[in-house]
Amino acid sequence: MSTILLAGGAGYIGSHTAVELLESGYDVIIADNYSNSCPEVINRVEEITGKSVKAYEVDIKDKEKVDALFSENKIDAVIHFAGLKAVGESVAMPVAYYRNNIDTTLTLLECMEKHGVKNIIFSSSATVYGEENPVPYTEEMKRGTCTNPYGWTKVMMEQILEDAAKADKDLSVVLLRYFNPIGAHVSGKIGEDPQGIPNNLMPYVAQVAVGRREKLTIFGRDYDTPDGTCRRDYIHVTDLAKGHVKAIDYVFGAKGVEIFNLGTGTPYSVTEIVETFENVNNIKINHVYGERRPGDLAESYANADKALKVLGWKTEKTLADMCRDTWNWQKNNPNGYRK
């Protein structure tokens, strides 16, 4: 059975992917420095799956330690989730973002080369389509202009991985461009656990629901969209995680670089998210309308045809599922993984 190294695997998307890989029969190793997660995640993944997970507390920038990890284990493929991802913070601390996100990628590629590991899946983002491309986004569009350093790190890492694959014809690279992952595992045992004030919509809504925040501010209602609020392609994190299992199955038989959008193809507005959350969970979300947030695009959503055609993957969960599962996680874990 193949062994998959999940770099940054204790995080939100990594932990859900670990569950789906384990349930599909893969062995999983998680390597994380817990800069934006905590070791309790490993216990929860084991509880859900009834399987054991080998976990290393390691900074993926630390080449000696990552090299030792590759020496100790026979790794068949790497999924690279390890990155800093807060857009506003990346504007304030660009150097830290470039250092962490680029350096982790280089270290993984160097260790893979040394140990003959030829398969890597990378967590990219719809943000690489930038400002120029029209929606819905398709994979062959050129990468666009990003509005923040976080986005640029994703553009640069895609380029680095493409160049590495050009130079090594045996390398198989899959770039997964995520849209807006929300929701939580149906068990309510793992979910999104942002530190401090959430930047993203759904964790903020969930924290208003549980009483940790007073009210949601909806950023702008004068966009050129049906109800004036921005529209995004929200995807259930379990659907996203299943997309990784399909991508792993694919990466083993492939060479070169393949890019896949992982989204539903259907956009929802901020107002629709708030209303669906309220209706499904029978709970009021205090909210006000405020100014636009700098850097926001009116609309972002995928054309998800390629993932269906090539990987045989499509999303199965509804927006109602996403809202219900988010609330189930939040109400059972009001302070996230902390007691």
The residues of the shown chain that bind ligand UD1, judged by CB under 6 A, are 85, 87, 125, 127, 150-151, 180, 199-201, 204, 216-219, 230, 232, 270, 293, 295-296, 300
Q: Residue 230 touches which of ligand UD1, ligand NAD, none (CB < 5 to 8 A by kind)? A: ligand UD1
Q: Rule CB under 6 A: say whether 10 interacts with ligand NAD.
A: yes
159 vs 217, beta carbon nearer ligand UD1:
217
- Options 26, 97, 137, 178; binder of ligand NAD; rule CB under 6 A: 178
Q: Rule CB under 6 A: say whether 181 interacts with ligand NAD.
A: yes
Q: Rule CB under 6 A: say whether 333 interacts with ligand NAD.
A: no
Region of 29-37, 213-221, 282-290, 315-323 interacting with ligand NAD (CB under 6 A): 29-37
What is the torsional sign of CA 9, 14, 16, 19?
A: negative
Binding mask 96-115 for ligand NAD (x = CB under 6 A): ----x---x-----------
CA dihedral 128, 92, 160, 155 (to 10 degrees): 10
Q: Rule CB under 6 A: say whether 243 interacts with ligand NAD.
A: no
CA dihedral 249, 252, 253, 255 (to 10 degrees): 130
- Here the tokens at position 278 are 């309220």
Region of 174-182, 255-263, 277-285, 301-309 interacting with ligand NAD (CB under 6 A): 174-182
- Options 14, 198, 265, 267; binder of ligand NAD; rule CB under 6 A: 14
Instruction: From 86, 115, 79, select the one nearest 100 (Cα to Cα).
Output: 86
Smallest distance, ligand NAD to C-beta of residue 214, A? 24
Answer for the pair 18, 47: CB distance below 8 angstroms, yes or no: no
Q: Rule CB under 6 A: say whether 81 interacts with ligand NAD.
A: yes
- Options 119, 123, 172, 281; binder of ligand NAD; rule CB under 6 A: 123
Smallest distance, ligand NAD to C-beta of residue 78, A? 13
Smallest distance, ligand UD1 to C-beta of residue 252, A? 27
Q: How far apart are the first and last CA of the chain?
A: 36
Answer for the pair 73, 29: CB distance below 8 angstroms, yes or no: yes
Query: Which of the residues 56, 150, 204, 301 is marked catalytic?
Result: 150
> In which element (H, E) is residue 212 found?
none
146 vs 171, beta carbon nearer ligand UD1:
146
Q: Is 150 a catalytic residue?
A: yes
Q: Is 170 exposed, middle or buried (0-12, 13-18, 19+ CB in 10 A)?
A: exposed
DSSP state of 265: S
- Options 27, 59, 76, 158; binder of ligand NAD; rule CB under 6 A: 59
208 vs 302, beta carbon nearer ligand NAD:
302
The residues annotated with a catalytic role in the active site are 150
Where do contacts with ligand NAD occur on this chain (CB under 6 A)? 8, 10-14, 32-37, 59-61, 81-85, 100, 104, 123, 125, 178, 180-181
